[in-house]
């Protein structure tokens, strides 16, 4: 089964940058989006053969998530939930689909912002998500994907020393990821490629950062520990353009 996750930094914008062709070429069972930046009805795109699920932020042009699920391979979900146990839903950051053998969570984690202005909300969100995932994991395995807005370890960004304490690489955010992984979950990419350097999924638009590969790995597939031996691969699709992020992929035998 093939999962794709991509922060598109504006769905309407990426639709004008070849998204339909990328979507078709990837032929994923699940295609998860973050930062769609749209309201209902603003994107007239309905891929044939897929169920569509959107979560919109109350604030226009902000945040937002979506999942496209292939009808002939995965079918209708048992249930669909938005937010975290009905909370943290005003910014459209979370969609959960339940299937017979697993839960899929698509998430756009809040940015702590410059000067860590939003770190308290960020940490509240992180703890709520960790508890939510543990509750689901007690029922059946979880696949959690999205822009999680943190480079967990120094290997996950180009310039760790100069970014220490900045949003996305603060001790608090890194600690929250450590706590999540210690709660029964696995970083799929690092499980398979523990020492692979210069593997990034986001690059600033400034100073030709992507051309120079001055980036961060902040997009993830986090899975229940007991799914780790079912993984076939976890990839960063850095050759796909259209956003300041590139897609990430999970191939797993479910």
Residue 108 designated active-site: yes
Strands, E assignment, 115-218: 142-147, 185-187, 202-203, 215-216
Q: How far is CA 114 from CA 68, 111, 165, 168, in A?
A: 32, 9, 10, 10
Which pTM does this prediction carry?
0.97
Given 29, 50, 99, 147, which residue is catalytic?
A: 147
85 bridge partner residues: none
pLDDT digits (tens, 9 = 90+) for 4-31: 999 999 999 999 999 999 999 999 999 9
Q: What is the dihedral of CA 185, 189, 191, 195, to 10 degrees?
A: -140
- What the block records as the tokens of 224 is 């229940």
147 counts as catalytic: yes
Mean pLDDT of the chain: 97
Question: pLDDT per residue over 118-146, tens digit each?
Answer: 999 999 999 999 999 999 999 999 999 99
Model confidence pLDDT, tens digit, residues 54-111: 999 999 999 999 999 999 999 999 999 999 998 899 999 999 999 999 999 999 999 9
**Which of 54, 108, 144, 200 is the catalytic position?**
108
């Amino acid at each position: 089964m093939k999962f794709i996750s991509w922060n598109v930094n504006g769905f309407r914008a990426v639709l004008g940058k070849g998204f339909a062709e990328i979507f078709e070429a990837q032929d994923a069972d699940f295609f998860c989006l973050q930062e769609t930046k749209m309201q209902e009805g603003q994107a007239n795109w309905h891929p044939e053969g897929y169920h569509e699920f959107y979560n919109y932020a109350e604030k226009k042009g902000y945040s937002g998530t979506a999942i496209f699920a292939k009808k002939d391979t995965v079918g209708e979900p048992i249930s669909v939930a938005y937010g975290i146990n009905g909370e943290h839903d005003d910014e459209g950051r979370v969609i959960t689909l339940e299937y017979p053998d697993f839960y899929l969570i698509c998430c756009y984690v809040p940015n702590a912002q410059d000067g860590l202005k939003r770190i308290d909300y960020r940490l509240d969100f992180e703890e709520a998500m960790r508890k939510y995932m543990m509750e689901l994991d007690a029922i059946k395995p979880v696949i959690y994907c999205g822009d999680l807005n943190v480079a967990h370890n120094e290997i996950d960004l180009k310039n760790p020393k100069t970014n220490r304490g900045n949003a996305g690489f603060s001790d608090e955010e890194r600690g929250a990821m450590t706590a999540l992984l210690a709660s029964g979950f696995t970083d799929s990419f690092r499980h398979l490629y523990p020492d692979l350097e210069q593997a990034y999924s986001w690059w600033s638009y400034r100073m030709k950062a992507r051309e120079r590969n001055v980036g961060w790995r902040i997009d993830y597939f986090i899975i229940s520990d007991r799914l780790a031996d079912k993984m076939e691969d976890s990839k960063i699709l850095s050759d796909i353009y259209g956003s300041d992020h590139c897609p990430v992929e999970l191939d797993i035998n479910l």
